[in-house]
Amino acid sequence: MAQHGDGQQRATSASPGGRLSASESKYRQIRIAGLTPRQHILRCAPFGFRGRLHAMKHHEVIVIGAGVAGIYQIKRLADLGIDATVLEAGSNLGGTWQWNRYPGARFDSESYTYGYSFSRELLEEWHWKERFSGQPENLRYLNHVADRFGLRKYMQFNCRVESAHYDEAQNLWHVRTGDGREFTCRFLILTLGLLSIPTLPRLEGMASFKGRSFHTFDWPHEPVEMAGKRVAVIGTGATGIQVIGEIADKVGELTVFQRRPNWSAPLNNGPISDAEMADIRRRYDEIFATCARTPGGFEHEPDRRGFYEVTREERLALWGKLYDEPGFGIWLRNFKEIFTDEKANAEFSEYIAQRIRQRVKDPKVAEKLIPRDHGFGVQRVPLETGYFEAYNRPNVHLVDISETPIVGVTETGLRTTEADYDFDIIVYATGFDAITGAFDKIDIQGVGAERLADKWRTTISTFLGMMIHGFPNMLMPAGPQSGSASTNYPRGIETGVNWCTDLLEYMSANGYSRAEATAEAEKRWTDHVTNMYAMMLMRKAKSWFTGYNSNVPGHEQGTVRYLVYNGGAPKYVNTINAVAANGYEGIVLGADRGAPPAASQPTAVI
Ligand code: NAP
């Protein structure tokens, strides 16, 4: 609420009378981070003006979501002088890092590869304190970015977008928010987050519980007193594993309700000293160049030796080293066969199982913590701090709900088929309606009132993960099937945001006002994404990478949904850059506002 008022005041005072200052209305030169500087100039005028933001109903661009992607998107638009606003459901910016305040929430990307790369000054001035920075610091960082670059004035908080309908006659999007406001825009940019719709179990009696209970995503903003409390955690994904490791020694009794264990390896976090930070600053160019050439967008480069070309002793030596190193090296510096070859994956999984057996004292508990239904790395690998050691504590108990399922929530706790358990606090670490969930929450209708939810009901289909046939002028810098879900997220979204912004620039420079991916280009891209799953072991795993969620009707069976681009960041970037270089082939660009597309230039994109 306070932020909303604050933003309103700033917007008004920055542009008295809603008019642009002389300097604001000047032509602006466009420079795109990491790409060759563009020579052409974008004029503000055709895109309208930034005026009394909150009083205006029309914006040239509406961005939905003020998380990591939305912040960078509005930065790019603001730099170009394009009239744009960000509509954000939350009470402040930050997305994931604004919502997820559970104990233990932190990066598992190296902090300095998670930060934005677009500003040298920002890189120079920000000191990451830990190799894998925690939620409070991450949120401070995002707020710092917004304030440093004056982005908050473009953002409107506490307004959840409920619908977005494309109006063919006017070539405009009509956007409605939960508080009844209506907007129009020429371009709709969806930066909704991949994991922004939390899902709860469908258990009887959930409302009857007399203690406190919350999903980790909705963790209260004020501190939750846990000392001496009896706490239940349901779920052992990346979130549950972080929470459990963090609170095990801070609560009275901790009972973990595990349905399927997850493969997990040490985060190996540590502080970053002044000297180390100075070195990181010196190496930033090199760090980002490495991220750009690795499949995952990290500093971790795959071991290029063939799994079977080296001896078992050499494999063990590599794995021993990686297990003790920080971050995702154990997953991403490994042999590539881990992802594609059952036998190689099984050998490595058994190595990790042995490490678990070494760390967990009770052999029966250790065996329960070892996954049997999938191999290491075919689901998103959680990184942990003291997770396995938590089970060596006398106050931590593991309940295997694959054997004794939870049948309901009572006034005092949880009931399984075997016993009743009493708790003061129940933590639901039960995951998200991932990737498409946030799209499904908005009533998005394109040409001919086609509903996106209907189009995607059986098969997800996109062009480059950033556009959808039948939904003109709607852009998704981090959409399903884009490069973002499978890469270090900020590296992926910078790519996506730059591409989408470049498209707007191109349209402005060439007098286009309507862009729509062709059905053919969309099919080619979707087939390409789908075919890549065929070679990946991950296709067999029940995880959000394949669209599984036991709490969402229709997604509980684990029938594969092709949501993630598996070709790696360099290939993705090359592909989308080639599309742009070839005059946005695969996209129909139209010049007449309100008229059907004037020209079509679909050609192969892959
Ligand atoms: P998740 O990986 O989907 O895990 C959800 C957990 O809850 C699973 O163990 C699941 O068991 C269990 N569960 C769900 N519904 C249940 C039910 N009805 N009854 C019992 N158990 C139930 O979700 P997440 O842990 O929130 O992680 C999601 C993603 O968020 C991660 O993969 C990661 O990408 C991201 N994340 C990132 C960070 C970070 O960057 N540091 C931290 C946390 C999360 P089943 O497996 O049996 O369904």
Global confidence as pTM? 0.90
Q: What is the pLDDT of residue 593?
A: 57
* β-pairing verdict for 182-190 and 58-64: parallel
Q: What is the pLDDT of residue 484?
A: 87
- Index of the ligand 1 atom closest to the CA of residue 106: 41
- State how far the Cα of 447 lies from the Cα of 465, in Å rounded to an integer: 19
- For the chain, residues with pLDDT lower than 50 are 1-53, 594-606
Q: What is the pLDDT of residue 48?
A: 39
The neighbour count for residue 151, using CB atoms within 10 Å, is 21
How far does CA 115 lie from the centroid of its chain?
Answer: 14
Q: What is the pLDDT of residue 486?
A: 84
- Residue 583 sits at φ, ψ, to 5 deg, of 70, 30
User: E strand or H helix at 234, and its extent?
Assistant: strand 230-234
Do 52 and 18 contact (CB within 8 A), yes or no? yes
- Index of the ligand 1 atom closest to the CA of residue 544: 3
Distance 237 CA to ligand 1 centre (A): 4
- Pocket around ligand 1 at a 6 A CB cut-off: 106-108, 195, 201, 234-240, 242, 259-260, 380, 401, 429-432, 544, 550-551
Say if residue 3 is exposed, middle or buried (CB neighbours under 10 Å; 0-12, 13-18, 19+). middle
The residue contributing the CA closest to ligand 1 atom 35 is 238
Contacts 24+ apart (CB under 8 A), 124-131: 124/281, 127/272, 127/274, 127/277, 128/272, 128/277, 128/280, 129/271, 129/272, 130/106, 130/269, 130/270, 130/271, 130/272, 131/269, 131/270, 131/271, 131/272, 131/326, 131/327
**Ligand 1 mutation target, pool 113, 239, 298, most atoms within 8 A of CB:** 239
- Index of the ligand 1 atom closest to the CA of residue 240: 25
- State how far the Cα of 150 lies from the Cα of 189, in Å rounded to an integer: 20
Q: What is the pLDDT of residue 15?
A: 28
- Index of the ligand 1 atom closest to the CA of residue 379: 32
